[in-house]
Chain A
Amino acid sequence: MNATTASTTALMVNQSDCPEVEVPVPLFFTIGVVGLAENFLVVVAVICNRNLHSPMYCFICSLAAFNTIASLAKTWENLMLVFAGVGQLDQRGSSETKLDDVMDSLLCMSFVGSIFSFMAIAVDRYITIFHALRYHNIMTMRRTAAILGVIWTTCGVLAMLMVRFFDTIFIMTCFIIFFLISLVLIGCLYVYMFMLARIHARRIAALPTSGSGRGRWRRQRWRGGTMRGALTLTILFGAFVVCWAPFFLHLIIIMVCPLNPYCECYRSLFQLHVVLLMSHALIDPAIYAFRSAELRHTFRKMLLCSDWR
C-alpha cells in the first residue's frame, strides 16, 4: 500500500512539478498567419516594384521568403495537430509522418535560410558603407542572384540532411555551432560598421565652425544621431538573439543533460520558445523591410489599391 501510494505520488509529482507549458493553439495560428501575411506582402512588394530590384532588397526579399516558409510550415503543422487532436488524422500513419518530415525539413530550411540571409544583409551593408565607391562593381545583380541561389540550395540540402539524421548528436552540434558562428559574425560586422561610422561622424562634427554655439549644436546632433544608431543596432541584434537563443539552448540542453531536473524544467517551456521563434518572423519585416521609405510607399500603394506606378 505504502509503495503504491509512494509511487503514485511520485508519478503525480513528476507530472506536475515542471509541467509542459502549453501555448494555446489560437495564439500559434495568429502569429503564424500574421507573419505569413506580412512576409508574403514584402516578397510581393519587392518583386512588383522595379525600383526595389537592387541587391539590398533582394536579400531582404529572400529573408522575407524564408520567414514566409517558416510561418506557413508552422501554421500547417498546427492545423495538422489540431486535426490529430480531434481525431481526424492518424498519428502514426505513413503519410502523416512523411508530411511531418516535409514540414520539419521546411522549418529547418527556413531557420538556416534566415540566418544566412541575415549574414548576407550584414555583409551587403558592410560593403555599402566601406566599399561604397566600388559597391556596384562588387555587388552586381548577377552576383546577388548567384549568392541567393547558393543560399537556397544549401538550405534545401541541409534541411533534408538534418531531418533525416537529426537523432545524431553530430548534426545537432553542427547546427548549434553554425548558429553561434553566425551570431558572432553578424555581431562583429555590425559593431565594426558602427565604430567606423562613428569615427566618420566624429570627423564631420569636428568641422570648423563659425562659433562655439554652432559646434555645440553639431556635437549634440552627432551624439543624438549616434545614439539612434546604437538603438537600432541593439534592436536588430537584440531581437535576433532573444528570439533564437532560447531554442538553441533547448537543443544544447537536450544533448547535454537530458535527465537533469533543472534541464527538464527548461525543456518544459519548449512551446514558448517556438512561439518566440515564430514571432521573430513577425518582427523581421519591421526591423529590416519597413525601415525603407520606398518599401513603405509600395505597401501603401498595394494595400490601398491606388494606381500602380
Chain B
Amino acid sequence: MSDFHNQSQASARRSDYVWQYEYYDDEEPVSFEGLKAHRYSIVIGFWVGLAVFVIFMFFVLTLLTKTGAPHQENPEHAEKHHRPGSCLADNGSPQDENERAFSRPLLPESRSFFHFYISEEEQGQGKCKAEDQGGGAIQGQRARNRLGGVSSSGMEEMEEEGEESEERQPLQGLVDEGKSDRESAFLSHFNIPNFVNLEHSSTLGEDDLLLCEPSAMLGSQHWPLLM
C-alpha cells in the first residue's frame, strides 16, 4: 500500500510537468507481454525520420544551388550592358526608372556595394571611375549578398541590410554628397532589373514595385536626403 502511495506521489510530482500523466495511471498498467518489435521502436523511428527530414531538406537546398548554374551571357543583355555611358543617369526611359526602383534598397547601404557594380562594368564602360579589383572582389560578395538576400550568408546579410539602413539615417547628411556622385554612376550601369523584371513579371506577378512605381521611385532618390 505504501509502495502504491509512493508511486502515486512520484507520478503526482511528474504531473506537475504534464497534467495528463496521472490520469492514465488510474487505469490498468500497460502490459508489455508479447511485443513484436523493440520497445523503443516509436522513439527510434521518430528520430530517424526527423534526421532524414533535416538532411533531406539540406540536400534539397544544396541541390538547388548546384543545379542552378548561371546562364550563358545573352547577346541582348550584352548590348544593354554596353550602352554608351555617361556617368550621369538619364531620366527618360523606364529602364532607368526600373534601375532606380531596384536600386532603391541599395542606396542606404555601404559604398562598397557601389564599388562592386562599378568595377563589374569597368570593362564595358571605362568612362566612370572604377575601383580596384581586390576591393571589388570582397565587396562584390557582400554586394551579391545584399542583392541575393538569403542566398549568401543567410539571414545575417538580410539583418545587416536592415540595420544599416537604420544606421545610415543619422549619417545621411554627412555622406550624401559623396553618395550622389556614386549613385549617378551606379544608376547608369546597373542592369540587374532587366533580369529580375522579366523573372518577376512572368513567374510571380506580385512584385509590382519594379513596374508600377516610377514616380515614387523618382522621389525615393532623395530619400536619404529627407531622412
Q: How many A-B residue pairs lie within 8 Å, measured between CB atoms? A: 263
Cα of A233 to Cα of B220 in the assembled complex, Å: 32
Chain B residue numbers with a CB within 8 Å of A44 are none
Known: A91-B9, A234-B54. A221 touches B141 (CB 8 A): yes
Q: Does the CB pair A125–B158 fall under 8 Å?
A: yes
Inter-chain contact B54/A81, CB cutoff 8 Å: no
Cβ of A38 to closest chain B Cβ, rounded Å: 18
Q: Is there contact, CB below 8 Å, between A201 and B61? A: no
Q: Is B87 an interface residue (CB 8 A)?
A: no
Is the CB of A102 closer than 8 A to any CB of chain B? no
Q: How far is the CB of A219 from chain B (nearest CB, A)?
A: 6
> With the chains together, A221 CA to B144 CA distance in Å?
9
The stretch among A112-120, A144-152, A153-161, A192-200 that forms the contact with chain B is A192-200
Query: CB distance B153 to A131 under 8 Å?
Result: no
Contact of A133 among B9, B14, B24, B104 (CB under 8 A): B104
Judge whether B29 and A14 touch: CB under 8 Å. Answer: yes
A51: interface (CB < 8 Å): yes
Q: Is the CB of A203 within 8 A of B144?
A: no
Q: Contacting B42 at CB < 8 Å: which of A196, A207, A227, A265? A: A265
Asked if residues A229 and B159 are in contact (CB atoms below 8 Å), the reply is: no
What's the interface size class on B, roughly? 35 or more
* Residues of chain B lying within 8 A (CB to CB) of residue A234: 54, 57-58, 61
B28: A residues at CB distance < 8 A: 259
The closest CB in chain A to the CB of B122 belongs to: A210
In the complex, the answer to whether A238 meets B16 with C-beta atoms within 8 Å is no
Among A29-37, A64-72, A286-294, A300-308, the stretch that binds chain B is A286-294
Let me know if B181 is at the binding interface, CB within 8 A. no
Residues of A within 8 A of B19 (CB): 104, 166-167
A283 within 8 A of B: no
B120 cross-chain contacts in A, Cβ below 8 A:
207
Bound together, the chains give a CA A201 to CA B54 distance in angstroms of 24
Tell me if A241 and B50 are in contact (CB < 8 A).
yes
Residues of A near B72 (CB, < 8 A) are: 206
Whether the pair A258, B64 counts as a contact (CB closer than 8 A) is no
* Bound-complex Cα distance A169 to B137 (A): 59
Report the Cα distance A167→B9, complex, angstroms: 20
Chain B residues with Cβ below 8 Å from A54 are 162-163, 166
- By a CB distance below 8 angstroms, the chain A residues around B69 are 219
Nearest A-chain residue to B117, judged by Cβ: A207
Bound complex: CA A75 to CA B192 (Å): 53
Q: Is A128 engaged at the interface, CB distance under 8 Å to the other chain?
A: yes
A203 and B70 alpha carbons, distance in the complex (Å) = 7
Contact A242 B50 (CB under 8 A): yes
Q: How far is the CA of A270 from the CA of B150 in the complex (A)?
A: 36
Q: How far is the CA of A222 from the CA of B144 in the complex (A)?
A: 8
Closest to B80 in A: A208
Interface contact A221-B140, CB-CB below 8 Å: yes
Contact, CB under 8 Å: A128 / B16: no
Whether A269 lies near B152 (C-beta < 8 A) is: no
Residues 269-285 of A at the B interface (beta carbon under 8 Å): 269-271, 274
Interface residue A204 (Cβ < 8 Å from any Cβ of B): yes
Cβ of A249 within 8 Å of any chain B Cβ, yes or no, is: yes
Cβ of A130 under 8 Å from chain B: yes
> Which residues of B pack against A, CB within 8 Å?
9, 12-14, 16-21, 23-24, 27-32, 35, 37, 39-43, 46, 50, 53-54, 57-58, 61-62, 64-66, 68-73, 77-78, 81, 101, 104-105, 120, 123-124, 137, 140-141, 144-145, 147-156, 158-163, 166-167, 191-192, 195-196, 199, 204, 207, 209, 213, 216-217, 220
- Of all A-B residue pairs in the complex, the 4 with the closest CB atoms, nearest first, are A232-B154, A225-B152, A230-B61, A201-B148
Q: Interface of A with B (CB < 8 Å)?
A: 10-11, 13-14, 17-18, 20, 51-54, 56-57, 77, 80-81, 84-85, 91-92, 100, 104, 125, 128-135, 166-167, 190-191, 193-210, 215, 217-219, 221-234, 236-238, 241-242, 245-246, 249-250, 253-254, 258-267, 269-271, 274, 288, 291-294
Can you list 11 A-B contacts (CB < 8 A)?
A: A14-B31, A57-B163, A104-B19, A125-B155, A125-B158, A194-B151, A200-B147, A206-B70, A227-B65, A238-B57, A265-B42
Further contacts, 19 of them, CB under 8 A, given A222-B70, A259-B24: A11-B29, A195-B64, A207-B120, A207-B192, A225-B141, A225-B148, A226-B68, A226-B148, A226-B151, A227-B65, A229-B154, A230-B61, A232-B153, A238-B57, A261-B30, A262-B35, A266-B46, A270-B18, A291-B156
